Every structure is written in structure tokens, then in C-alpha cells.
Structure 1
Amino acid sequence: MKLATALSVLPFLAGTNALPKAQRPARFDVMVTSEGPIQYRALASSSSFFWLGKGDGFTDSYCPPDIEKTGRCPPGKDTVLKNAHTLDSVLPGQIIYVDSNRAVRATGPNQTEIEEDGTVQNPIKADDLTDGFKYVPGDRHGTWTFKDHGADGFMACPYQEDIYQVYVNSPGAKPQGHNLDDCVPFTAGAFEYSLPANTTAAAWEY
């Protein structure tokens, strides 16, 4: 490259490096952004599993009565992540993992060990749970992804009454009561989530 050409490119490179890079938000919720029967459905946590349903009320959360009396309970209405592998709850340690059936699940507060059969024990090695889950920044919104152990992305498998259970997209998945062919791969859009005033997490405990 000629010196003059190199010098003319430098201002462009400097401008490119100065552009703001997309950052992972402090917390985000997840919605299906790919076309299909589950498009625009929101991810919801209940009984340690993850679901895609229609309408409100699918997220299952808890706040102690004494905290509720003081009016200090977080909303607890939406399933929100504070990073790619942790739920956004006041009580720490609700880590997202994949069980032996390839279902996406979350531990209870302060639980940090998962056995080979998918059961949760205390204490856990957090490093064993985080592999595969990633947040990928984008122009309008990010994407929540999973890639590990032969799985690539997520899929939704019919459960009952137009409710789908979330699994990683793996040929080893074992959906409850349905064939693997009934499952639908999907793209999980990750959208920045804003908390109401005077709250520090989306739920006390999921």
C-alpha cells in the first residue's frame, strides 16, 4: 500500500474504532423473534423449567410475606436475566443450566451444583453451568444463544394447551410426552429490561 493511500485510510479507521460498541444491558428479557407458531412469545420461568405461553401469568415468582407487607417486593411478573446464565433475582445464585433431557432449567437460590442426571445439589461449581449460554449484541436487540455438547440454539416442544417447553436444540433432547419432530427451533431475542423505580431486581426469587 502506498504511503498516501495508507494515510488517507487512517482517519476512517480512527472513526470506526471510535464508534460505540453494542453492550450487554444490565438485565434483559427474552422473546421469540423467529417466524413460526411461537413468534413473539416471551420466555417464562416456572417450577425451575422454562416455557413459552400466550398472555401473562406464566412467570412463577415468590416474595416473602414480611417483605410484601412493606411494599418492597419486586414486580416478579416477568422472567428476566442479568446475564446469559443467571436469573435477575434479589436472592443470588439462580443459575440457568441444561438437564439430562436437554431441558433448559434454573437452580433455586444459592444452589450451585448439578449432578449428571440433572438433579441439583449444594454447593455447586458455577463454572460447570455457564458453558454454552451466550448473549450476542445486535443493532436493535441482542440474542440469547446456546452452543455446546452438540446442541445449537433453542427449541420449543409442545407441552399442553398451547404451552411449549424450552429445550436446547439437540438430537439428544427428550421432550415430555411428545416426539422430537414436534419441536420447533427458535431464535431468542434479548431485549433490555427496565426496572420500576426503587427496585434492584425483577423478582425476589423465581
Structure 2
Amino acid sequence: MVKKLLFIIIIVLALFTGLLFPSIYLFVEEKYTFLNSKIPEVTNNLIWKISFICHISFGGLSLIIGWIQFVEKLRKKSSILHRKIGKLYVLSVIISSITAIYIGFFANGGFISAFGFICLGILWFITTIIALISIKNGNIKKHQNFMTYSYACTFAAVTLRLWIPLLNGLLKSPELAYLIVAWLCWVPNIIVAYFINKHRKTIKE
């Protein structure tokens, strides 16, 4: 019961974040969004702007559809649908992670936050590619484990937005909060994914 409730919460947060935040950046004036904190040299850079739009759009899509792959009943009911959603998820992550690595170099807060977001983008890309290669090689267990790591990285979009207001309230320093959240938004997710995979291994063996 608790496990199902937690999964429902994850779905709601994923759908809310995946739909709302890309829409904000696509349809709301920049001065009312996070982009207002960026210097004009960055926001006026066409490559950065295209990368940012690709990142939030395909990142939002991967967040919206990724959780579906963990619903065992749906996976067993239609393996074809599972594969099609999986291909769309992988494509979305590849685009969003590569652009995330690029825009990470322009992150607010300097080296510490930039390095945190760049590491996230690289890990997101690598775990997804390993999961893809694993299933092509017929290694289902490794595929499941690395897809769990991949979606843990995807879910950083949610945890970032949960941590930011909490850190701002506790630290009273948006600059320090941003430095911390660049790491806090994804490192605990990976740790949780590790224990999920470990538990999955225990169950199967």
C-alpha cells in the first residue's frame, strides 16, 4: 500500500513538473521566469536558447512518459507499447541530456553549480545508453537497473523544484541554495535508485 502511494505521488509530481515548467518557459515572458536571472549575453545566444528549449521540452517529455515503463502490468500486457515508449524515452533523454551538458556550462553560481549540473547530464546520458545497449544484448536485469538510474536522473527536475524553496527558506541565501541544489537534486535520487535495484535483485534471487 505504501509502495503504491509513493508511486502515485511520483506520477503526479512527474506529470505536474513535466507539463507545467516547459509550458512556463515556452509561453511566459522571460522576465517572469528563471531566465530573468541569466545575463543577456547568455539569453541572447541562439545556440544556448535552442539548447535550453530542447532541454526543457524533451526533458519534460521523458519525465511524463518514463514512469510508465515501471508499471509491470502495462509492460506485460503490451511489450510492443513498452518498446515504443522506451524508444521515445531514450530519444528524449539523449536530446535533453546533451543540451543539459551544454547549458550546464552557463549555470548560475559558477564552477560548483555548473559542475554539478554537467555531471548530472553526463550520468543521465550514460545510464540511458547503457540501459539501451543492455536490452539489445538481452540483459533484462541490467536494463532494468540502469533504466532506474536513468529515471532517477530524469526525476531530478522534480526534486530540484522541491528542494529550492526549502533551501531558500532555511538558508536565506538563493545563491548558496542554488550551489547546493545543483548536487542535491540528483545525488540522493541515485542513492535511492541503488537501493531499489538492490531490493529488486534480492526479490528475484
- TM-score range (shorter-chain normalised) is under 0.3
More helix by share: 2
Determine which structure has greater relative contact order: mean sequence separation of CA pairs < 8 Å that are 6+ residues apart, divided by chain length.
1
Report the TM-score when normalising by structure 2.
0.23
Could you say which structure has the larger radius of gyration? 1
